[in-house]
Amino acid sequence: MSSKRTSKHLACLMVVFVALTLPVISTVAQSPAKAGAAHLDSVTVTGSKKFGSGEIASAIGLRAGATINRDDLQAAADRLAALGPFSNVQFHFTTVESGVRATYEVSDAPGVPVSFDNFPWFTDEELTAALKRTVLLFDGSAPQRGTILDAMSGALEKLVQTRGVLGNVSHTLVNLPLGGQRIQFRVEGTDLVVKSIEFSDALATTDRHVQQSASDLIGKSYSRSAIELFEFEQVRPIYLAHAFLHVQFGAPSARVTSDSAQPASGGVVVVAPIVPGPAYKWGGGLWNGNSVIPTRDLNAMVDLKLGDVADGNKIAALWERIQSLYGERGYLDAKVDAEPQFYDQDARVIYTVTIVEGSQFRMGQLVLTGLSIDGEKRVRAAWSIPTDSIFNEKVYEDFLDAGIKHAFAGTPVHYDKVGRFLQENPATGRVDVLLDFQ
């Protein structure tokens, strides 16, 4: 005889309850403390490519030989769904002469990397090893949500306590500057400040802009994520300008310089490893998919000559200018995909640029909300894209930046926030502009 129940872990944890009847097996005496109890003959978990059946069963507290009832089986499914590493949980059981055989079917949830924001007392390898020793179902990555994250925070709290640090450990899902996400763990309640930043590469060490920007971090609370953001916003553009298009920034590390009697306060020396890679020369661009803008016009937009230093900032600005030019001609959904081909033998880079132009849009309606009658008249008078004319995205952006202020110049009226939305209608080739004044 068999029956089945399901638990599902979605964006919001949801467990679906299905009626379950666990019969009393005649060969097993029913415990008066557990109505409908039976002997658990075996428990098997299938479907995971990351974890073994025994690992998962241990994580939810089910062991062969235990006395269980239907509530125990459901509670185990709920715990499994709430953990986080699995996006879907189903289970069924079969009664046999020796008891009940339970089978749980799971699907692995996507994992994201983990990072440790301010743990200068340990290396990343030490922190990761400690989590693997103490947290069941931790494989080096983490789900975006779930009770396993609380277990990881708790394990890290106990670890830092061995160094005399009594702060709580929090966890947050953060977005990375170049895309992607990670779970970041941070010790709260510490008073560690940055004493100095040591770069491994000479360019960062000698560049005046980098050094001036780095000085803003000195004396501030130590945060690895703040160091990484500084590298992305301030240091990376310097390397791109020098044509180091493959520059790699290693994970910053830190060492505490404070008195060991107060391990949660004092100074931190940050070490920032940088591997610049080759400095490339411009080898040109190969254009595909363009018909609205001729190839000769695209080539004329390139302000680099063959053999010039391949300034990564100029190259990125080129793709933005091309995108903007399409927007000025009404191609609001145009995509510019530039794929670099690196030739290390002569340190040259050639870009294959694929353009998907999409449809051209004309001006539809200007829909205004939140304005007085006089205010609406002023805005409509200042709007300069006539109905049915080709929509110009630059004119639209300029209007939002300066045109609205000009429309109300000389009046006491001002708006702190203007909601904006372009509503495209591909069937008619029109785009409506919706502005909400607040």
- What is the token pair recorded at 202? 């000479």
Q: Over the stretch 349-397, which tens digit does the pLDDT of each residue have?
A: 999 999 999 999 999 999 999 999 999 999 999 999 999 999 999 999 9
Spatial separation of the C-alpha atoms in residues 318 and 302, rounded to whole Å: 7
Q: How far is Cα 398 from Cα 434, in angstroms, rounded to an integer?
A: 15
Kind of pairing between the strands at 112-116 and 181-187: parallel
Residue 54 confidence (pLDDT) above 70:
yes
Label residue 88 by pLDDT band (50, 70, 90): confident
Average pLDDT of 40-44?
A: 88
Confidence of residue 21 (pLDDT cuts 50, 70, 90): very low
- Hey, which CATH number is domain 363-437, 3.40.50.300, 1.10.443.10, 3.10.20.310, 3.40.720.10? 3.10.20.310
| Residue showing tokens 């129940």 | 5
Residue 152 has pLDDT above 80, yes or no: yes
What's the mean pLDDT when you consider all of the chain?
Answer: 88
Q: Comparing 353 with 18, which gets the higher pLDDT?
A: 353
For CA atoms 69, 75, 81, 85, give the dihedral sign: negative
Helix (H) / strand (E) containing 326: helix 312-328
Q: Report the pLDDT value the prediction gives residue 22, as an integer from 0 to 100.
A: 39
Distance of CA 221 to CAs 224, 225, 261, Å? 10, 11, 19
Domain 2-108 has CATH 3.40.50.920: no
∠ Cα 39 44 48 (to 5°)? 155
- Contact at 8 Å (CB) between 91 and 18? no
Which residues is 252 bridged to in the sheet? none
169 within 8 A of 188, measured Cβ to Cβ: yes
User: Hey, what amino acid is at 400?
Assistant: L
Q: How confident is the model at residue 264 (pLDDT cuts 50, 70, 90)?
A: low
Longest dimension (CA), the chain: 92
Q: What is the reported pLDDT for 63? A: 84
Which tokens go with 353? 């640029």
Mean pLDDT of 25-36: 41
Please state, for a pLDDT cut of 90, what percent of the chain lies above it. Answer: 72
For residue 409, count other CB atoms closer than 10 A to its CB: 9
For domain 281-356, give the CATH superfamily.
membrane protein fhac (3.10.20.310)
- Cα–Cα distance, 214 to 198 (Å, whole number): 10
Q: Do the domains 281-356 and 363-437 sit in the same CATH topology, yes or no? A: yes
Helix/strand/coil for 318: helix
DSSP string spanning 367-394? EEES--HHHHHHHHHH----TTSBP-HH
Mean pLDDT to the nearest integer, 144-165: 94
DSSP 106-133: EEEPPPEEEEESS-TTS-HHHHHHHHHH
Which pLDDT tens digit goes with each residue over 398-417?
Answer: 999 999 999 999 898 888 89
CA distance 365 to 363: 7
Instruction: Count the alpha carbons within 13 Å of 312 in the hemisphere toward its beta carbon.
Output: 17
Query: Looking at domain 112-275, what is its CATH homologous superfamily?
Result: membrane protein fhac (3.10.20.310)
Q: What's the pLDDT at 35?
A: 54
In DSSP terms, 89 is beta-bridged to 7, 106
CA distance 219 to 195: 6
State yes or no: pLDDT of 27 exceeds 90.
no
Residue 52, CA distances (Å) to 61, 107, 138, 385, 388 in order: 15, 13, 12, 63, 63
Residues near 98 by beta carbon (within 8 Å), at least 6 away in sequence: 27, 39, 41
- Average confidence (pLDDT) over 37-56: 89
- The pTM for the full model equals 0.78
**Is pLDDT above 80 for 9?**
no
Q: What integer pLDDT is reported at residue 259 of this predicted model?
A: 62
Quick check: 94 pLDDT over 80? yes
**CA pair distance 135, 159, nearest whole angstrom:** 12
d(CA 309, CA 244): 10
Domain boundaries, the chain: 2-108, 112-275, 281-356, 363-437
